[in-house]
Amino acid sequence: QVQLVESGGGSVQAGGSLRLSCAASTRTFANYVLAWFRQAPGKEREFVASIYWSGATTIPPDSMKGRFTISRDNAKNTVYLQMNSLKPEDTAVYYCAGRDRGAQKYNYWGQGTQVTVST
């Protein structure tokens, strides 16, 4: 059982950076695989990145590779998404998600945080 709360969203100009944070309310943070998803209006939810308890990460989709980096600090029960060189098409609600290490689906979700990138 874990509760996830995102923060760090906001409005930035193209080329700017943001760091999103996801605070997890749990005493077993290391037991969860954490991920970031995003969803733009009228579009399907899109996977951004995931990170395992060991710190191993997935490679983001090509549109975000090299610009977005996921990390986690188990001591602080927090997962981060560093977003650089932001583009207008990055505008979306960004969600933090979690799953048990042995689970196949992400069954814990935060409420999301809005990221808006303007030209």
pLDDT tens string 83-117: 999 999 999 999 999 999 889 899 999 999 999 99
What's the confidence (pLDDT) of residue 88? 97
What φ, ψ does residue 8 adopt, rounded to 5°? 100, -5
Q: ∠ CA(88), CA(42), CA(44), 5° rounding?
A: 90
Which pLDDT value is given to residue 59?
84
pLDDT at 30 (0 to 100): 82
> Are 94 and 45 contacting, i.e. CB atoms less than 8 angstroms apart?
no
Tokens in use for 117? 């990138």
The arrangement of strands across the sheet holding 18-25 comes to: 3-7, 18-25, 78-83, 68-73
Residue with tokens 């080329």, as numbered in its chain: 15
Mean pLDDT for 9-13 is 98
What's the pLDDT tens digit per position in 47-83?
999 999 888 999 899 999 999 999 999 889 999 999 9
CB 94 within 8 A of CB 81: yes
The predicted structure's pLDDT at residue 28: 81
pLDDT band at 26 (very low <50, low <70, confident <90, very high): confident
